[in-house]
Structures are given as structure tokens and as C-alpha cells.
Structure 1
Amino acid sequence: MRQLAVVAALCVWVTVVPGCSSKQRGPPAGPPDVTARIALLHMDPQLAALDENIASISRLAEEAFSKGANIVIAPELATTGYSITAEQVRSSLGLGMPYAKLQPLRELAARHSGYVVVGLAETAEDGALYNAAVTFGPKEFLRVQRKRGMADWNSSGDLPFDIIPTEFGDIAMVICSDTYLPDWIRIATLHGVDVMVAPANWWGDSGQGRIWRTRSRENGVWMVVTNRWGQEEDTRYTPPYHYDMNDGPSMVTDPRGQVLLTYEAKDTSPPGGKILYATVKIPAERIGRAGNTTDSVVYRRPEAYQAIANDCWQPGAPASCTADLPPAGKTVVGSLAYVPSPNAGENLDQVQARWGTQAVDVLVLPALGIAAEPVSPEAPCWWCQGPWLRWQQLVEERGLQLLVTTVNEAPKGAAPRESLLLLRPKLPPRLIQPIHGNGTTPGTGRSPELIDLPHARVAAVSGWDFMFPEISTALAKSGVDAVLVSSSLASERTPERSRWDVGMLRAAWEVDTNSGFHLAAADSAGHGLLVESGGMYTVQALELQGNEPLKPLPLDSQPVRTRKLNVYRPFDLKALLGTEGSTVQSAP
């Protein structure tokens, strides 16, 4: 019996064994990946034409299902058009549970064993009006989601961002500009979403594509955004506004932030609608599981994000939120993009040559921008010799308020780690350990490093720590005016699994400033970015390439202090921080 057991075991692993069936070769195969065909109804909803729009959605959904679609998504407010009023929603355009007028869509989902997502104006049982989206599945109505962002007619959504389990992966809904800040998609990610579906009504060039790519990349999820086309006359205002929505993009992005599909009606002649199809393949190990192997999910440290829960930078925020900030004013910030040399002297020469005689208050270098040689933090006055002394002298000579880079820190009795290095005049250098671990070195879980300069509160973060979307929100809620990022995420020395494409990283950096702060960043792949924010929008973004001279940018702290961030419900905080309440009442 023992010999038979050995032979049986060998049959599983050996290609050819006498007496073994060929069907027993190799380890047992796991379940196959799941492929979903998704249809985006890039349509032109007619204003205030409820029955006509439902008929159009039904016709397009029927066509999409007949061509093999598993999931069909219509735009935001697909049943009503965009420029509606509260009176219209209450009297004729609003739909409430059980959404009887959408019975044709319910029947389509059942007949084709698929899913239909449609944006609508909702009238709730308590009389509140919501900009909403509903999902019908093969057997029943599955979920409603309500937009958190408010227009003149709708209340802010009050529902959690729960997932909808399907045989094609877990999906969740978010509506249009609710993607602008990172919070809601992050919450769905923590619940286990695979595919985020976003009915949208977002025209004009405001960087939507960068936002959606970033949300995919930072969370490791697919984003499917269904936009609309056409024109509307908004008579709610005097004089009326004319909306040309033909540049509103529909888009599908993969978990690496790569664009699988994009379409704008203006790119066809004449502009017109279209059913767009995208095929996504969900790894079998993700189906039915909350696990997500994306670095920024695996290595989260919620204890570092507690500032998210304070009551600052939102409507009704107390005066104490700004009482301890430095007086508003301009700080001149510079960032140098270069590939650091192993030779510290070469790095110094390169920086001095490109710096020239220009005056700056703050300078950001790429990761390991001074030297790659390790620092022993226990060594007495380690900064009093070698390259560190010369750089400290440079800070003093050039009148810098702050210089930011990273170093290889080799603490006694602990694993080596890459830590932030902060150089300031007349102060010893500071080494700031990483917040998040990376599989080889542990993170500290500490709060981000804040520094008050004469006219700005700034935060210094590594590129690794900054890719966690909660960090952006926590910094904004802490009153930060500018974020300084020393990065190596696009460098070849970063493992491929964790490496960011240069273009994707630049896009994400700019999107992160949606939270309402300026940014100066440099990556050791030889590129960087300076962003001047107007509060929660980009005034200008300067891309930096290797070998370019320094481009100083005066950044005013006053505009960014007008930001207004998301308001959280207890279930939001529980998802983000693991707690329903807040122990943090104001910014530190």
C-alpha cells in the first residue's frame, strides 16, 4: 500500500511514469479566469423625456445583450437628462422603489442572465431626492447607489459603497464626479470590488481620464465609466446655459491604469452615440473574495490616516482647524529631476549646475538624490562627515528652508530601510522612517511628517508612502498647503510588480492634488512634477525632465486653504479607518 501511494503521488507531478495515465500529468488545474463582456451605452438622453429615454435604454440594452454583453451600463441620469429641477423630479421624472417604470430593464436582465446599471433621478420614501443609479440582475433588483455630490435639486447620498457579488466578479457603483476624490472607490476596494462601474454625465476637459486611470492603478481595480453625448439647453438659469456634451469621454481602464477603451462623440463626424464593448478578464482567485494583492491595499496602515476623521476642511469646520497654521503667503518651491549617480560628488555637481543662482525656499530631490551609501543613525554625528556635511553646508549657503530626499538607513539590529532625509538650516538632519512596509521592511504606521515653514505647512513623503490614496486625504485634512515627494517608484531599481509607468505616475501625482494642495515631486527615473493648485483644481502643472534647469514656482498657501473635502458617514470611517467614530477633532 505504501508503494502504491508513492506511485500515485508521483503520477501527479511527473510527466511520464509507467502505469500513469496522461490525464494525471502536472498539478491539478485551478479554476479558469472569468471573462466579462461589458457594454457601455454612450447615448444622448433627452431632457425631461422619461418614457422616451427608458425606451431608448431598453432598445440599446437589448442590442448589447444580443451581441454577448454580460453587463450593460447606461449614463448618469440616463432616464431624465441632466438639466432637471426638484419640481420636475417630484412631479413626473422621479422614480422610487421598486422602480416599476424600469420593468423592461429588469426583464432584460432576467432573460439574458445579465446585469443592467442605469442612472436616474430617485424619489425616496421620505421624500428626499437623489441622483442615483440602480442595478438589476438575473433574478432581481440588486442595489441602488446615491451620488454624494450635490446639485441644486438632489440631496447628498446616504448609502454605503457596498459590492454586488456576481459570477463576473464583484462590482460596485459610483456616480460621475464622486470619482474626483479617492475616498469612495477606496472604500469599495476595501470591501472587495473587482469592477467599479460609473454612470457619468461629465463633459469638458477637466482631466477625467487621469482621474479614472489613477483610481484604477491605486486600487488595483477595473474602472468602467459610461458617459453621454449630445447637447442641452439649461433653462434653470438666466440667461440659459448651452451644454455641448460631445467631448464627454466613456472609458475602461485596467488595474494597472492602462486605457482599454475610450470614446468621445466629437471624434466622429457627425457626432453620434455608440454601444462600446470591452472585455475584462478577472483572475479566478479574485472571484468571491475580498482579497486584493495591490501593494497599496496589502500594506495599508489605517493608524496613519486618522486625520481623515477630523471635522476640518468641510462645511461648518471649526475655526480651530486653521488657528495654528503659519500665516498665508508664498513659498518658492523647486524640484530637480535626475537619475542619481552612485557617486555623491557627481550628484552634488549635477544639482549645483542645474540650480544655478535661482533662489528657492524648498528643494525636492529624487529618492537617494544625495548618495546611495547607507547611513548608520546610531553613529555620533554621522552627518558631520562625507557627502552629508557638504549638503548641509549647501542648505545653509543657499538659504534653503528645507531640502527633501531619501537615504538608505541601516539601523543597528534592524533591517535596512529607505527613509526620508530632511535638511534644514541650523538643525541636525532628520531621518523619517517609512509609514508603510513593502514586504521586506516593516513600516512604522506613524502619521505623515508635517513641517511648518514661515508661510506654509508642508508634508514630506516618500513616493512609496504617497501612492496610498488615504495619505492624500489625511494630509489635506491636516491643513497641509504643499506636499513634497521624493520618489523612486518609476525607477528600474523598484521591483517590476511595484513599479509605476512614468506617465501613470505623473498623472496620479496631479490627480492627488484634487484634495487641495500644491505638489513638488521628483523621481529617480529622471522626471518630476510641480503642481500649483487653486484650491481643488490645477492652475498649472509643470512636467520636469532629466537635465532641465531648476524651475522655481512660487506657491501661495491662501488658495488651497479654501478646499472643501468629503463629509463622511460613520460607515465610511469604519471602512477607511476601522472605526465608526473619531478621536481626532481638529488638525494637529
Structure 2
Amino acid sequence: MTKRRFRAAAVQTLARLGDYDHNIALATRYVDEAVRQGAELIVFPECMDTGYLFDSPDHARELAQTVVDGPFVKALSALAARHGVYIASGVTEWDPEKKKIFNSGVMFDRKGALACHYHKQFLATHDQNWFSFGERGCPVVDTDLGRIGLLICFDGRIPEIFRAMALQGAEIIVDMANFFAMDQADMWGPARAYENGVWLVAATKAGYERSIYYPGGSMIVDPKGRVAAKVPYDVHGLAVADVDPEMAADKTIYAADDKIAGRRPETYGALALPYEQTPVCGLADQPLIPSRSVTKVAAVQMHMTADAPNADAVFEMVDDTAKLGVKVLALPEYAFSPTWLPNAEEARAQAAATPAILTRLSATASLYGCLIAAPVIEREDDRLFVSTVLIGPDGARIGVYRKTHLTAEEKTWASAGDSYPVFDTPFGHIGVMSGFDAVFPETSRCLGVGAADIVLWPAALREPFERELLAVPRAEDNRVALVLANRVDSPYPGGSVVIPPNGFPMWDINVAAPRSFKLGAVMPRHVDLAVCRQKMMIPKVDMFANRLTETYAPLIAA
């Protein structure tokens, strides 16, 4: 089917608790206005039929209706049929067969028929007071607008849910939300659209519902992560934009790489394991000694350059950083190469120099009792690997990570790794992702499942959104300290940073941690391992224990 452009509308409003008549009138008014503006897909927020902050499970049950004969869904069905449009909304659903209340999403087609029915999977603390965890998986449906998937609010904080829909061919993701914080809209929405190359139409509330403040953040985001339309905060209204589903077919990144085709599903098996079978299970219950659970880490923005092709300056900066008490040091990708993207000849030359590089770094690690993550090229028999070697405080090699996701240029000379080891070190559980690896959320999630406290990211960034949209979610999604060490001669230079496991107070990384472009800059931070091992975002919301792994089959399918 040839896809065509269409207009979508995300509604930002506020439902009245328990007042179906008011909420139906509100929905009718917004549908009429969206249709007047030419919208063919109209999206309402979460629990738009009943409101959200119930008194008790009994109160929720009193208000919940079925998706067949509830007054709100019947009204939406009639509106969709009357105007010949698609309408999606969050609803409070009573399932009489399961005897459960679900936080659900529904989408009606042009004839008023139920086209898609979804249950929220990742329940917030208050959700769990009255809703059951979703039992409908990650549905994606074909429509004459394109392939559409539904999710609800907090679901967007779990990369696997969005990804499972993208892997089923979703072109447009509809998010029916009650955003509590601006970062959930301004960062996670665009981040998920960018990393999956899909459209996002997200509708949320604005205003106060009892003790809840909804700031807003309704928006439409294109597959490149760019916001096409947005309703201002604390305002009721519509975000309206033209959506071209064919844009979602373009998953390209960099010159010749692909965000979906570049995946390595055969290496992601850990993501579908039941929580009880993963190393992260029970991690927060293991005792720590406070005086020994804080470590100083640093991103060392130092590497060889075409103007200074000698490694002595790199060794000197590593030595200077270590003598100031930093215990975990990360360098940028290809730190011992004068170019940010070595060719085959340069890679072979660097591999020949690697033993001497590691010997010198081992001496520094032993002298200062620190851990150095050395990004090098290693030769094994007739193969070359993009490796990060971890050298421990005794100068011995702790282990090595071999880059799993290679760029098109690297594939001409390098072999890929096939696992995501997490190393038990004196300074915490440490994992590594190298350069392009971070574009794939599966990489950091596998490290999180593997119980990482700290994830090192040696990089030579090429696109702004790698830092601006992906860095903070990679830390917060997994509750790890993320150490990004970037080159200053790559297409998107500088900006090395250490991100704590709970992120920054201000969601915009360029405000919270302005980019430094200085060669030799050192970005240190103290990391509390106790915070890294507490994988809850908020009470009862564990970023790993609450995952419904039985719905993640698309992630590991070839």
C-alpha cells in the first residue's frame, strides 16, 4: 500500500474525575476542532474517561467501564464514525472475564470499530494501587494511515516496549499519557522516536488533579527525533502536524548505517530472560559498606590528533588524572589513533602498538591504584577487534569488551564482539559500550540486566542527538552512572560527561552539563554504588523487575 501524508492531532486537556458527561463533552469539542483543522488521527491522554487519581481500588472499580459498552468509548466510537477519522484515548477498563481493572488504550477506526486495544505494561506506583499489569503485549495494527502501535505514559521509559513495536513494523506510535515531569516529554519522547526511527504522537494532560500536577508536553515527533508540533506547558489545546509514514522507512544513521538493520539480536538473549534469572535480580538487597561504596570516576577528553600524533600527551593526561585520586578513568574511542575513524591500514598500525600502550597504562594503574579503560585495537590471529581493555589497580588486565555494533567503515577491517560482559572490580560492576553501540538501547539494557553499576562509553560522536537525547536515558533507564568520553575531532565534538544514575535535575543535558571542546578536559564525578544498585525509579517501579519479558520476543528474533 502506498503511504500518504496525513494530519495528526495530540490533545492536551484535563479530565474531570468521575464525570463521564463532562469528559465526553470535552472530547467531542476537541474532536470537532481537530477535524476542522484536517486531522485524521486524534489522540487523547491517559484515563481520559474517568480521571486518574482514584480514592481506592473500589473507587476505580466503580468508575471503570468495559471497552465494549462504556459511555466514553461508545462516544469516541460514534465520533470516529461520524467524522471518518481515527481516535485513540486512554481509558479505565473493567474486564469482566478477568475480573481486573486495566489502564488501557483504545483506538477506533473510521467506521467506529475498535482497531487496537492495549494494556499499560509498566505501571507507576499509584497505578499499582488499582490497576493490573497489562496482558495484551505490544500490539501493532495496519491502518490506511500506516502501521500504528499504542502505549501509555510510563511505557515509554522502558526501551523494550517501544522497540518491540518498531520491530513489528510500527510507523507511528501513539502515546496516551499523564506526564508528571517535563523530561518525560521533552527527552524520552524524542529519544524513543529517534532511536527507533518512528513517528510519535503523544497526548498528555495539563493542570491539577487533586495532588497531581500535570505540566503538559503533548507533542508530535518525527522519526529523526525532531519535534514537529507541541502544545506549550500549562495550556490546553492541540498539537497538530502533518505525518509522513514513509519517513519511518528510513532508519539510516551516519553515512551508511541503520538503526534497525544494525542490531545484533543474537546477542540480546538476556533481555527476554525472566527477572529471577538475571544478575540484576536482588542486587539492591546485597549489603554495601558506605565508606567503600563511593568511587571517583572521570571522562578524560584526551586522545591523539592529526596535529599531535604522539601518544605521550595521552599518557601524561591519564597520569595527571590518576594522581588526583580518580579511580575509574575512561578515554574516548580510538584514543591512541590520530584520526577519529581509522581505516584498515591505520587500524593495523594501531593494533601493532597496542601491547606497548597497555604496558604503559598498566604501570600507571598500578602506581595510583586505579582502573583505566583503554580503548584500543587488538589483533587475535588474523582478526582485528575494536576493544576496550580494563586494567585494574594492580596493573593486571581485568577483562576486555569487544565492540558488538560496528559501523559500515569498521566492518571493512574489524570483527564484532558477541557479548556484553559486566566486570566485578574493586570500584563496582563495570560495563562498556563503544561508540555506535550506544545507538542501540539493547546494549545498555543488556549491561543493566547484567547488574552494571557504571557504564563506560568511549565515543567519537557523529550526531547531536547521540548526546542530547540518548546519553541521559541510557543512564536513567538502567540506573547506572554513565561515563561518556568523546573526542574533540569527531563530527560532533566534545561534551564528555559523567551522568549519575538518576540523571540531572534539569533534563536538558546542554544546560545541566554544557559541552567542553577542550582537548585534555577532565570531567570527574563521585559515584555512589548504593544509588546505582537501587534500580527503582520511584517506589515499586523497578526498571528491571517490572518488565514483562514475555512480550519481548521481537527483540531477540533474527
What TM-score results when the alignment is normalised by the length of structure 1? 0.79
Per-residue displacement from partner, 1:108-155 (whole Å, max 9, x unpaired)? 322333210011100012220011110000132111111123311111
Paired amino acid for 1:307: A
Per-residue displacement from partner, 1:357-403 (whole Å, max 9, x unpaired)? 42111111111112244346986xx5454x55544443334432222
- Contact persistence 1:37–1:69 (CA under 8 A): yes
Per-residue displacement from partner, 1:479-507 (whole Å, max 9, x unpaired)? 110100001132xxxxxxxxx21x54243
Distance 1:274 1:340, change over 3 A: farther
Q: Which runs of 5+ in 2 are unaligned?
A: 339-345, 488-492, 507-511, 536-541
Paired amino acid for 2:469: A
Residue of structure 2 in register with 1:453 after alignment? 425
Q: Which residue, out of 58, 63, 82, partners 1:111?
A: 82
Residue of structure 2 in register with 1:212 after alignment? 189
Residue of structure 2 in register with 1:222 after alignment? 199
**The residue matched to 1:145 in structure 2 has which SS?**
strand
**Considering only aligned residues, what root-mean-square deviation do their CA atoms show, in Å?**
3.3
Residue of structure 1 in register with 2:483 after alignment? 520
- For 1:55 and 1:426, how far apart are their aligned partners in 2? 70
Paired amino acid for 1:560: C
- Contact persistence 2:303–2:314 (CA under 8 A): no
- Contact persistence 2:86–2:107 (CA under 8 A): yes
- For 1:506 and 1:285, how far apart are their aligned partners in 2? 21
- For 2:252 and 2:372, how far apart are their aligned partners in 1? 36
- For 2:281 and 2:398, how far apart are their aligned partners in 1? 35
Cα offset for 1:338? 5.0
Tell me the number of residue pairs that the alignment of Structure 1 and Structure 2 aligns: 514
- For 2:5 and 2:523, how far apart are their aligned partners in 1? 47
Paired amino acid for 2:165: A
Q: Does 1:189 align with 2:166?
A: yes
Q: Which runs of 5+ in 1 are unaligned?
A: 1-30, 234-240, 267-271, 491-499, 580-588
Paired amino acid for 1:145: Y
Cα offset for 1:273? 1.2
Structural mapping, 1:341-380, within 5 Å:
341-342=305-306, 343-345=309-311, 347-348=313-314, 351=317, 355=321, 357-372=323-338, 373-375=346-348
- Contact persistence 2:402–2:417 (CA under 8 A): no
- Contact persistence 2:49–2:90 (CA under 8 A): yes
Residue of structure 2 in register with 1:427 after alignment? 396
Q: Which residue, out of 235, 256, 260, partners 1:297?
A: 260
Structural mapping, 1:36-115, within 5 Å:
36-84=6-54, 85-99=56-70, 101-115=72-86
What TM-score results when the alignment is normalised by the length of structure 2? 0.83
Structural mapping, 1:131-170, within 5 Å:
131-139=103-111, 140-150=113-123, 151=127, 152-170=129-147
- Contact persistence 1:332–1:360 (CA under 8 A): yes
Cα offset for 1:249? 1.0
Residue of structure 2 in register with 1:479 after alignment? 451
**The residue matched to 1:257 in structure 2 has which SS?**
coil
Identical pairs, percent: 23
Cα offset for 1:466? 2.2
**The residue matched to 1:34 in structure 2 has which SS?**
coil
Per-residue displacement from partner, 1:245-276 (whole Å, max 9, x unpaired)? 2x22112222221222222343xxxxx41122
- Contact persistence 1:147–1:157 (CA under 8 A): yes
Paired amino acid for 1:147: K
Residue of structure 1 in register with 2:538 after alignment? none
Per-residue displacement from partner, 1:414-434 (whole Å, max 9, x unpaired)? 5x6533344445335966432
Structural mapping, 1:247-396, within 5 Å:
247-266=215-234, 272-283=235-246, 286=249, 295-312=258-275, 329-338=293-302, 340-342=304-306, 343-345=309-311, 347-348=313-314, 351=317, 355=321, 357-372=323-338, 373-375=346-348, 383-385=354-356, 389-396=359-366
Paired amino acid for 2:430: V
Paired amino acid for 1:66: R
- For 1:224 and 1:313, how far apart are their aligned partners in 2? 35
- For 2:49 and 2:40, how far apart are their aligned partners in 1? 21
Q: Does 1:562 align with 2:534?
A: yes
Residue of structure 2 in register with 1:575 after alignment? 554
Cα offset for 1:320? 8.6
Per-residue displacement from partner, 1:211-266 (whole Å, max 9, x unpaired)? 11111111111111111112222xxxxxxx3x332x22112222221222222343
- For 2:350 and 2:399, how far apart are their aligned partners in 1? 10
Cα offset for 1:285? 8.6
- For 2:146 and 2:248, how far apart are their aligned partners in 1? 10
**The residue matched to 1:336 in structure 2 has which SS?**
strand
